[in-house]
Amino acid sequence: MSDKNLKQRNEIPKEYKWNIEDMYPDESLWDKDVKECVERAEKFVQFQGKLTQSPAVLLDVLRERDAIWQKIEHAFVYAAMKKDEDNRIDKYQAMDDKCGSAIAKISAAMSFFTPELLEAPEEKILGFLASEPGLKEYEFLLKSMLKEKEHILSAPEENILAQMSEITGATNDVFKMLNNADLTFGTVVDEDGDEVPLTHGNYITFMESQDRSIRKAAFTNMYEAYKKLINTIATNYNYNTKTDVVSARIRKYDSSLNAALDGNNIPTSVYHNLIKEVHDYLPVVHRYMELRKKVLGVDQLKMYDVYVPLINLPKKDIKFEEAVEIMAEGLAPLGSEYIEQVRKGVQSGWIDVYENQGKTSGAYSFGSYDSMPYILLNYTNTLKDVFTIVHEMGHSMHSYYTRKTQPYIYGDHSIFTAEVASTVNESLLIRHLLKTEKDPEMRKYLLNYYIEEFRTTLFRQTMFAEFELLAHEEIEKGGVLTAQWLSETYGRLNSQYFGPAMAEDDYIKYEWARIPHFYRGFYVYQYATGYSAATAISSKILSEGEEARNNYIEFLKSGSSDYPVELLKIAGVDMASPEPVKMAMETFKNLVDELEKLL
């Protein structure tokens, strides 16, 4: 659907919009909060030189620090989400920018806190913890900070870095503008014979078309656009990666990988084990590609043949209300309390359901510690959209349980654990559908869908992770990420992951240039580890019942109150071991085995 055919925001019925007014019934309160936070941050400097004067002073400082961040986060979330409702509205663009500037000022004003705290002898901080009961809440935070002591700079140096934060993110901003504003992809003639502008939003829809010429046209248009700007994008990504490497060196880390993982106390072996275990199962992916080639009946399997479903089912229109019922049935193993809260969330305005002109594309779960755990959707009545609701509801229920149980300082999640909560939901839904489906064709479709989830999440994200690792290592040994180096490296990895059934391709080597997540170093591997952990946890819930479910709910309540690997042990999964990845790989292998037999 082209943007001009979309409804305006005010044409969407209220029951399908999130209740964001709950955050700020009067927007003058938003201005008041932002102003107050900046003023309180400016006064916060009165604590400089006094942090470790006594346990009581340290407790007061920690509470004031939390209060400022809790309030500015609330304001930031509101502005960002209002902007996402309709990105064309200048007012909310300005509010979003104002919040970004306020956060930079607050960060700079408070930048003395960590270095000053860590100048104190460790024994002194531990003594404070023992003598002041109020500091018990901050024990994990303080001990985590002490662990990072060798990587914290002096107060003036930290202040400089805080002020530089608005500049160091420039490569990401440049890419966003290129990717979302400047790049155009031409038009594609769709199955109805209409000439439709190709966008990020409809690209996958075209790639799932049963008409191969449409897939090829969309694929060619997309990568021709990136090819034309490949040197500019390569230069931008080169400096983005250099920023990671230089930042790691400034903070005295052995490598940029170590710097990215150390904050969450994740051993680098987790990253390397993921790549190794996935490599061991690449022959199964290659078998699946051979099967895809056979079923599609093509002489040469091309990259634009990868997303089209192998089973062509008639389109089923799934209304939003029906999707909610499917979700409730699929998530029933999580218990009546979980389902009841899901339904309450839908009814009380957690979800912004339909697309409108100017609305941000895609889907996400967001919110502040003090708000509802909101969900942005662009629902189009497909089965894939049902999975999207279930995925985002996993995030939102994780936030709901965490914020209900944990104090503000532990009220968030690392991506390492967040992706588990969303993917457990998806895993439970697909297993429910496979268990209850009677139609043999639909079962084949669901098997293919589940296999594709593994391929695009576990295998694809691991390939991305391997590419990121190679790129950072190239910079660390003094190399330069030229367009040629990046494209050849990516092309080589793509051939390794897809195997001999995939024909050589002139365009796929440019795919690295369109991946936004590469501008947040060593981020994507967590999708793959999260998928592995979620596969293991959902299996435990279905096979072990109440005890496994209760352990999982306890995990959802834990927020960031411990390191991610430790938190996942609550749910019965040890990600420091390669076992969860192996278990996920075996599930993938069994799915491919079954689909091969059925086809």
- How far CA 487 is from CA of 239, 461, 493, 508, 591, in Å, comes to 16, 17, 10, 9, 32
CA trace torsion 275, 278, 283, 285 (10° rounding): -120
Helix (H, G, I), strand (E, B) or coil at 188: strand
For residues 118 and 145, is the Cβ–Cβ distance under 8 A? yes
> What does each of the 599 residues of the chain score in pLDDT, given as a tens digit?
445 578 999 999 999 999 999 999 999 999 999 999 999 999 999 999 999 999 999 999 999 999 999 999 999 999 999 999 999 999 999 999 999 999 999 999 999 999 899 999 999 999 999 999 999 999 999 999 999 888 988 888 988 888 888 788 899 989 988 988 899 999 999 999 999 999 988 899 999 999 999 999 999 999 999 999 999 999 999 999 999 999 999 999 999 999 999 989 999 999 999 999 999 999 999 999 999 999 999 999 999 999 999 998 777 899 999 999 999 999 999 999 999 999 999 999 999 999 999 998 889 999 999 999 999 999 999 998 999 999 999 999 999 999 999 999 999 999 899 999 999 999 999 999 999 999 999 999 999 999 999 999 999 999 999 999 999 999 999 999 999 999 999 999 999 999 999 999 999 999 999 999 999 999 999 999 999 999 999 999 999 999 999 999 999 999 999 999 999 999 999 999 999 999 999 999 999 999 999 99
441 is catalytic: no
DSSP states along 258-307: HHHHHTTT--HHHHHHHHHHHHHTHHHHHHHHHHHHHHHT-SSB-GGGSS
DSSP states along 66-116: HHHHHHHHHHHHHHHHHHHH-TT-HHHHHHHHHHHHHHHHHHHHHTTHHHH
> Which residues contact residue 562 at a Cβ distance below 8 angstroms, ignoring those fewer than 6 apart?
140
For residues 568 and 556, is the Cβ–Cβ distance under 8 A? no
Residues 527, 528, 532, CA angle at the centre, nearest 5°?
A: 115
Nearest to 545 by CA among 259, 332, 330: 332
pTM: 0.89
Give, rounded to a whole angstrom, the gap between the first and last alpha carbons of the chain: 34
Query: How far apart are the C-alpha atoms of 387 and 552, rounded to whole Å?
Result: 20
Which run of H or E residues covers position 196?
A: strand 195-197
For residues 286 and 498, is the Cβ–Cβ distance under 8 A? yes
> Which residues contact residue 26 at a Cβ distance below 8 angstroms, ignoring those fewer than 6 apart?
none
Pairing between β-strand 374-376 and β-strand 364-366 as defined by DSSP bridges: antiparallel
Helices 579-598 and 282-296, axial angle in degrees (round to 10): 20
Domains and CATH numbers, the chain: 19-168 (1.20.140.70)
Query: How far apart are the C-alpha atoms of 156 and 541, rounded to whole Å?
Result: 50
Q: Which two tokens stand for residue 210?
A: 């049963």
Q: Give the Cβ contact number of residue 122 at 10 Å.
A: 12
Q: Which of the residues 85, 392, 419, 426 is marked catalytic?
A: 392
Residue 366 backbone phi and psi in degrees, to 5: -150, 180
DSSP states along 531-585: HHHHHHHHHHHHHHTHHHHHHHHHHHTTTTSS-HHHHHHHTT--TTSSHHHHHHH
pLDDT for 201 equals 80
Length of the chain equals 599
Query: How far apart are the C-alpha atoms of 450 and 440, rounded to whole Å?
Result: 15
Nearest to 537 by CA among 570, 576, 578, 586: 570
